[in-house]
Structure formats: structure tokens, C-alpha cells
Amino acid sequence: MTSATIPGLDPDSAPTSHTELLAWVREIAELTQPDRVEWSDGSDAEWDRLTTELVAAGTLTKLNEDKAPNSFLANSDPADVARVESRTYICSKREVDAGPTNNWVDPTEMRATMTDLYRGSMRGRTMYVIPFCMGPLGSDDPKLGVEITDSAYVVLSMRVMTRVGPEVVAALGEDRFFVKALHSLGAPLESGQDDVPWPCNPDKYITHFPEDREIWSFGSGYGGNALLGKKCYSLRIASAMAHDEGWLAEHMLILKLISPEEKAYYIAAAFPSACGKTNLAMIQPTIPGWRAETLGDDIAWMRFGDDGRLYAVNPEFGFFGVAPGTNYSSNPNAMKTMEAGNTIYTNVARTDDNNVWWEGLEGDPQHLIDWRGNDWTPDSDTPAAHPNSRYCTPMSQCPIMAPEWDDPKGVPISAILFGGRRKTTVPLVTEARSWQHGVFMGATVGSEQTAAAEGTVGTIRRDPMAMLPFLGYNVGDYLNHWIDLGKNADESKLPKVFYVNWFRRGADKRFLWPGFGENSRVLKWIVERIEGKTGGIDTPVGIVATPESLDLEGLDVSEADVAEALAVNTDEWLNEIPSIEEWFDFVGEKLPTGIKDEFDSLKQRLNADK
């Protein structure tokens, strides 16, 4: 087909006269050769049409309308279930700018390789053009993007996860800057060839060109690989923008904690994927008089306000949450959000009455269709839902959204929490002595690998600020950026930094701390530290809560367990030193002096404590 005959490609079919956008759409259509071009408008009519088409194609199953209104289940190809970090690239012009933590290929070479892959890659399919905005549209500097994709599942998911529609097209105007985000499943259909329910390609590339602020993704239809507004734009590309412009793009939830005196505190927290951000973002405090509201569960963009405080905005519009483990007792607010409808589930199991189920959800189903489409019973030896199965649901449906979640100004952050999944060593909560000490804590966060990415679940890896898979530039420059922000700010106005660990285990492997709603006791301690109202014990690793300083009223946990959850064991920490050393060697010569100083002082304190 010649470009002149691709339906929908003529400028009259486009809702915009943005010259660069129109030229890019033409260039990509000519390269990828789709059957037609369609502009996504994010309307209900579009949602109804695309979901109907995908149900007919076998990609989606319509769920029980009474129990899961306007909601659908997708089952992916079993080889396309999580982010593919080994196939993710930062193609900066110079290799040193991608740094030691990223895969790098020269951008010219990568563009050539991928251009070959994209040639004809949308044949037999529709090419959708989705103008979107990350963050409130009313912001002074709205962060616009346009995703081109040949996946209708991506179009539906982008409508939930980002702001789309005519207001975005209006914001683009004729010449406003936007991030180009190109996505193809890499599964062209030759004439007469039958489609499969989840087209994708075994050869995958998730590529970023940080200087050009461009994203090229090929071969995967899943999550962060394909919904390019999320990890690709709001973290990898935005972190590079933030470095250049003096702000922060972070893998953090944002929550609002309200004390019995009705004082509100905004808290941001960075935990690696599948380590508890969504759960903490929607916490239901168990301590009387305390309430929480949420503003975001995965990404925070933070910049300084005129008053010198750090303000956070959530760039997203929906939740893409881990399903297994989510239930009415661990996270009732997530349950209510998705059960309000308009939700797309991926890789969970289906019940006999056409509703969804996953490990950890209430109920005791005797028969299911598992995520691979096979019959499942409690005797089956494989899980019914994939461990990285997800729900994609509109944030506006969350019953505890803070009214200011959509405010372009953002909210002033009082505390930043870093954390990971650690069976040993790391106490329940530790306060940093200073901003620089807090940056050291963030820089050395370690976590056991989870199912959110390919790899061996359980191995410990260092994950600075939970950003290891999401940095758009050199990790050493990133850590320097954090240190410099502190140097240039009035430290008394900066958030206080804390290191938390909900996952410490006893000798018998059980969790020492009950977690979830009970984490409100830790949040209360943090707020009281900010207010100077409670104590802690000065240890070599920082100021750790004591059982006496924590509110444990009504908590059904033994004193011994609480003490063990809070313990600083010098031998365990001395064990940690070589692995931090190895990590810092890997970061290399750009490691900030301030972080080296903190490491030296930690070693001295531990040795003095021996």
C-alpha cells in the first residue's frame, strides 16, 4: 500500500494541525505500513468500540456486568508478562551518560536496527495515534506526549493511565513540544493470516533517546514496556529532563496523613517494584484518630516551590497495581477502586461466574480458568494468577483520593521514605541524620528481586531510590543531583528522610511486623519525629525507633518480635559493607564525595560498636 492510500493518514482526518506531529505520523505510517490510521480521542464511544473489537478477537473477556461493570480481562502471551530490563536501553549520545546501570547502544546504530524492525511491522493492523498528557493539564508547563501504537489494548490502557482527549490536542496547539513515543507489537499480519489473542514478538526492545526525549518500543504489549507514558516517559525520559531542569522524577507514591488534630502531612515513598507502594499509598490506619488519603501510588515529580519546600505532583491518571495479595483486608481501597468498574485486568484468573480471582483474594474458589487459559483447582501446582498480574483502573474512582491530587501546584512533602524487601539487617524504621545521610540511605537501598521484572526472584540487588530500572542517565550523575539539591536548599525546609523495611523475618521465616494498615504506627512515629515529639535511639545506621517510642496500643504482636524488627545487629551490618563497597565500585568514579563520606562514617560507627 502506498502512503497516499492508507486510510486516515490524510491531514483532514487528523484532529490537529501541529506540523511536526503530522509529519511524524506520516513518517511512521509510511515506515510501518498499517492498514489504517486512527486518532484516539479517549471517548466512551471509542472505549466501547475497541473493547467490543478486542472481545471478538479473543484478546479481552467481558466480565460479569453486575460484579465488574464495564470491566475486562486480558491474558497475555506467557512470554510477555513483565518489564524486560535486559532489553531496555538508554541510547544517549555518549555511553558514559547512560552509565553503568543501563544497557547502551549508540543511538544511530539503534535507530538503524529498530527502523528495520519497524519496517512493515504494523501491516494488517490499525495504527493508533494517542495524544496524552502526564500530570495536570492546567499546569504552567504541561508534559505532553503522543504515543503511536498498533495495540488497541494499549489505547484502552492509556485512557485509564494518562490524560487523553480533545483538551490534550488543544494543549498541543500548532507547535508545542511533545515526547514522541513509538510502540509496535512487531507482529504484522500478512493477508489471510489469522491473528492471535496477544500479538507480540520474541525480539523485544524498550529504547530511550534521552537527549531527543524520544521512546521507541518494539515487541511487547505488556505494562511498562508498552504503556509508554509510565516508566518510559514519566521516569526514564523525565529523570533526564529533571536533571537538566533542577527537579526530581521519582518512583514514589504520594500520601496524605491526617493527625487527630487534623494536621495534614504529605509523604513520598520509594520502594522497588512489587515492594508495597500501592499498599502504603492507600493505607487505612489502624490507630484511632489518624486518617490517610492518597495522591499517587507509583510516580512523583517534585520541584521546589517559591517557599523553598519540595512540592510533588503525580503524573499518572490511573493505577496499574499488582493483583496478587490485594484483598479487602490488605487494601480495601484498591478493591473498591477496581470494583467500581472500568477496569482492565491482565493475567489474573477467571471464576465460573465470570469474575476475577488471584492468590490472596478472599474466597475459596474450587474451579477457575487460570491466567494461561487452563482449568485450575486448589490441587493445581501452579498459581491461578501470574505473580505480576495487574489491574488497571481509574484513580478518580479511589474512595480516598485527596481532593488536591489533581492540583498542578502539587503538595509540599514533609518526609521521604526509602525501603526495600529485606529479610534481615534493615530495621523497621530509621531516620537519617541529615539530607546527605538520607541520600546515602537511598543510594544503598537493597531489595530482593520480585516478579515485576524478569530475573531470579529473591536475589538481593542494590536499587538506588528504587530507580535502578528507571534511570534515564548515569547513576553517579543522578546521585550527585540528589546531593546538589540538598546543598542548594534550606535544609530546614527539606523533607526528612527515613529508611523503612516491612519485610524483616524471624528465624522461623514469618514476618516480624504485620505491615499493611499497621504501618500507620510507623507513619505516626515519623510525623512525631518531624514535630520533635518523640524519641529514638542513635545507632550506627541512624536514629531507630524504640518499642517505647512507637504507638503499639492494641497491636497483636509480641514484644520480642517488635524488638527484633527494630534491632540493629552490628554483625549483620558489617556483613553488608562488602556488598555496598561492590555496589559503589560499580557506580564508579562519579560516586559523590558526600556519599563516600557517609559510607566512611558508617564504617567507623560500626567498628566502634563492635
Ligand X SMILES: O=C([O-])CC(=O)C(=O)O
Task: Give least dist CB 526 to ligand GTP, A.
Answer: 15
Contact in structure between 75 and 88 (CB atoms under 8 Å)? no
> 42 or 224: whose CB is closer to ligand X?
224
Site string for ligand X, 72-111 (x = CB under 6 A): -----------x----------------------------
Sole window of 10-18, 66-74, 223-231, 581-589 interacting with ligand X (rule: CB under 6 A): 223-231
List interacting residues with Mn ion (CB under 5 A): 273, 298
Residue 549 identity (one-letter amino acid): S
Tell which residue, 562, 547, 554, 550, has the closest CA to residue 511.
562
Sole window of 60-68, 191-199, 324-332, 525-533 interacting with ligand GTP (rule: CB under 6 A): 324-332
452 binds ligand GTP (CB under 6 A): yes
Task: Name which of residues 542 to 581 contact ligand X (CB under 6 A).
Answer: none
> 101 or 414: whose CB is closer to ligand X?
101
Tell which residue, 127, 178, 154, has the closest CA to residue 21.
178
Q: Which residue is nearest to ligand X (CB)?
A: 224
442 binds ligand X (CB under 6 A): no
CA-to-CA distance for 130 and 453, rounded, in angstroms? 26
> 84 or 580: whose CB is closer to Mn ion?
84
Contact in structure between 205 and 215 (CB atoms under 8 Å)? no
* SS3 of residue 344 by DSSP: strand
Query: Using CB distances below 5 to 8 A depending on partner kind, what does residue 503 bind out of Mn ion, ligand X, ligand GTP, none?
Result: ligand GTP
Query: Could you confirm whether 133 is annotated as catalytic?
Result: no
Of the residues 91, 133, 275, 392, which is catalytic? 275
468 binds ligand X (CB under 6 A): no
Task: Give least dist CB 527 to Mn ion, A.
Answer: 25
Query: Using CB distances below 5 to 8 A depending on partner kind, what does residue 540 bind out of Mn ion, ligand X, ligand GTP, none?
Result: none
**258: enclosing H helix or E strand:** strand 252-258
Residue 587, φ and ψ in degrees, nearest 5? -60, -40
Which value, to the nearest 10 degrees, does the dihedral of the CA atoms of residues 283, 396, 81, 147 take?
Answer: -140
> 40 or 273: whose CB is closer to Mn ion?
273
598 binds ligand X (CB under 6 A): no
Task: Give least dist CB 447 to ligand GTP, A.
Answer: 10
436 binds ligand X (CB under 6 A): no
Cα–Cα separations (whole angstroms), residue 496 to 141, 310, 450, 492: 28, 11, 28, 9
277 binds ligand GTP (CB under 6 A): yes
Set of cell numbers at residue 558: 509480641
Tell which residue, 372, 595, 331, has the closest CA to residue 480.
595
Which residues, including other chains, have CB under 8 Å from residue 484's CB and lie 6 or more apart? none
298 binds ligand GTP (CB under 6 A): yes
389 binds ligand GTP (CB under 6 A): no
Report DSSP state, residue 231.
Answer: I
Contact in structure between 292 and 255 (CB atoms under 8 Å)? yes
Query: Using CB distances below 5 to 8 A depending on partner kind, what does residue 231 bind out of Mn ion, ligand X, ligand GTP, none?
Result: ligand X
Print burial letters for 11-20: b (CB count within 10 Å at least 16), e (below 16): eeebebebee
Residue positions forming the annotated binding site: 83, 222-224, 231, 251, 273-279, 298, 388-390, 421, 516-519
CA-to-CA distance for 244 and 474, rounded, in angstroms? 13
Residue 29 identity (one-letter amino acid): A
> 59 or 278: whose CB is closer to ligand X?
278
Cell 453486575 identifies what position? 66
Query: Using CB distances below 5 to 8 A depending on partner kind, what does residue 276 bind out of ligand GTP, Mn ion, ligand X, none?
Result: ligand GTP
> 172 or 253: whose CB is closer to Mn ion?
253
> 441 or 466: whose CB is closer to ligand GTP?
466
CA-to-CA distance for 39 and 167, rounded, in angstroms? 14
Residue positions forming the annotated binding site for Mn(2+): 231, 251, 298
Set of cell numbers at residue 101: 546501570
> 252 or 587: whose CB is closer to ligand GTP?
252
Q: Where are the alpha helices (DSSP H) in 173-237?
A: 223-226
Which residues, including other chains, have CB under 8 Å from residue 584's CB and lie 6 or more apart? 591, 595, 596, 599
Residue 321 bridge partners (DSSP): 391
Q: For ligand X, which residue of 273, 343, 425, 430 counts as binding (CB under 6 A)?
A: 273
Residue 100 identity (one-letter amino acid): P
Q: For ligand GTP, which residue of 75, 88, 102, 278 counts as binding (CB under 6 A)?
A: 278
CA-to-CA distance for 408 and 573, rounded, in angstroms? 42
Set of cell numbers at residue 604: 567507623
516 binds ligand GTP (CB under 6 A): yes
Q: For ligand X, which residue of 255, 385, 452, 566 counts as binding (CB under 6 A)?
A: 452
Query: Using CB distances below 5 to 8 A depending on partner kind, what does residue 243 bind out of ligand GTP, Mn ion, ligand X, none?
Result: none
Residue positions forming the annotated binding site for GTP: 274-279, 390, 421, 516-519
Report DSSP state, residue 235.
Answer: I
Set of cell numbers at residue 554: 492494641
Residue positions forming the annotated binding site for substrate: 83, 222-224, 273, 388-390
Task: Give least dist CB 11 to ligand X, A.
Answer: 34
Which residues, including other chains, have CB under 8 Å from residue 578's CB and lie 6 or more apart? none
125 binds ligand X (CB under 6 A): no
Q: Which residues bind ligand GTP (CB under 6 A)?
A: 271, 273-279, 297-298, 321-322, 324-325, 330, 452, 502-503, 511, 515-516, 519
Kindly list the catalytic residues: 275
List residues binding ligand X (CB under 6 A).
83, 223-224, 230-231, 273, 298, 320, 452
